[in-house]
Structure 1
C-alpha cells in the first residue's frame, strides 16, 4: 500500500475571513502527480498556503507529510517545510548571492553543517535540473526558466516527501514552461509526489495527470478526455 502524504477531509479553506473552499476532500499518495486548477481567486493559492502552514486550517481535518494541520504550531512550521519542497511562481531566489550560495543558505538554515556534504548535495540537485554548470551565476544572469530550475533544485535539497508547486510556469513563456514541466516530470518519475497548481491548460493536455479543479467554492476531480 502506498503511503498517504496529504489528506484533507471536509476542510474549509479561508482567505482572511472569506470562506473560499468548503467541504474539501483531497488525498495524495506517495508517487502521485496531481494538478490543481481553477481561475484566479478560486482558492488554489489559499489551499496551497494552508498546506504549507501559511494559513491555518480552521475547520475539517487535515494532515500533510506526517503533520496534523489542525494542531500545527508556529514553531513546527519550519520542520513541516523541511519535508515539503515548495516552488513558487516568482522563484524567490536571493538576488545578492549566486546559485550555489542560494542553495547553501537553505541547507545552513535547515541545520546542515558539513561543508563537503553541503557541496555534494547542492551539485546533486543542480545536476537533476541540468544547472550544475551555472552554480556560480547570479540570479539576474539567468533566464526565467533557469531561475525556476534553480528554484526546483532548492525544493529538492532536503529530499522532501511532497513537492508543492504553486504556478511554477506562471511567469514563463510556453516553450520554457514545457522545459520546466519536463524537469518536474523527471522528478516525479524518480518517485517524488507532486501537487501543482496551474492555470496552464496547454501543459495539462501535454502532460496528463490526475486533475482537481477549484470552482464555485468546491473542489472536484476533472476527468480528462482521451484524445
Structure 2
C-alpha cells in the first residue's frame, strides 16, 4: 500500500454559491476500503459528486486516479469517469432494456467496439457479483438487491481504479444490505479501492474499516469507537 488514488488538500466544496464543506485534506491509498459517514444533508453526496466531477472543484488541490480536479476540462470528464466506478443508491438502470443491454450501452458509450470482447466483459462482471444467469432479465424483474448487484457490475465494466459507492444500501433491507456489502468486500479483497458513503452504522460495526465523517462542514477521520 502506498500509491495514492485520491489526494485532497485544503479543499472547499460548493453547491452553486453555497459552501458545503471546507478545509478538507485527506488521502485514500490503493486497496483501501473507506467509509464516508454523516447525517443526511452533511455533504456526503456533494463530496462524492466533486470526486466524479459533477460539481467543479474551485478551491484547494484535488487529484483522483491521476486527474487534477481543479484544472479538469469538460472534454476530459468522460476519461476520468472511465477510471472510476460509480454506484448510486437508486441503481440508475435503464428500464427499457435487459441487463446485458444495460451493460453493453455503457461499454459502447465508453468506446468499446468489439461485440465479442463486450460480451466477455459483461459475463465477467456479472459473474463477479453473482448475477451471471440474470443478464436476459429486465430491471423490473429483479429485486432491489439484484438491481444493486447489477449496478456494481456496471461500475466494474471499465476496470476502475476506485469505486465510489454513494449510499449503495440506502434502499435495501438489512439482510440484502449485508449481501451487497459482502460483494463490495470481495471486490476490495481482490485489490480494488472503495469509497462508500453510508449512514448504515450496523454495516460499519459488522465490517469495520477506515472511516471519514462529514460533520459541521468538515470531513475528518474518526476512530470507529467514537462513531
Fold-level similarity (TM above 0.5): yes
Partner in structure 1 of residue 23 of structure 2: 23
The TM-score with structure 2 as length reference comes to 0.98
- Report how many residues are paired: 226
RMSD of equivalent CA atoms = 0.9
**Deviation (angstroms), 1:80:** 0.4
Aligned counterparts, 1:28-177, within 5 A: 28-177=28-177
Q: Distance in 2 between matches of 1:46 and 1:110?
A: 24
Unaligned runs of 5+ in 1: none
SS, match of residue 191 in structure 1: coil
Offset from partner CA, 1:28-49 (integer Å, 9 cap, x none): 1100110000011111100100
Aligned counterparts, 1:179-194, within 5 A: 179-194=179-194
**Deviation (angstroms), 1:18:** 1.0
Partner in structure 2 of residue 207 of structure 1: 207
SS, match of residue 225 in structure 1: helix
**Deviation (angstroms), 1:26:** 1.6
Partner in structure 2 of residue 223 of structure 1: 223
Q: Distance in 2 between matches of 1:129 and 1:139?
A: 15
Q: Distance in 2 between matches of 1:68 and 1:30?
A: 17
**Deviation (angstroms), 1:143:** 0.2
SS, match of residue 151 in structure 2: helix
SS, match of residue 86 in structure 1: strand
Q: Distance in 2 between matches of 1:126 and 1:20?
A: 37
**Deviation (angstroms), 1:68:** 0.2
Q: Distance in 2 between matches of 1:117 and 1:177?
A: 32
Q: Distance in 2 between matches of 1:75 and 1:114?
A: 24
Q: Distance in 2 between matches of 1:2 and 1:187?
A: 19
**Deviation (angstroms), 1:211:** 0.4
The TM-score with structure 1 as length reference comes to 0.98
**Deviation (angstroms), 1:225:** 2.6
Q: Distance in 1 between matches of 2:208 and 2:16?
A: 33
Structure 1 segments, 4+ long, off by >4 Å, are none
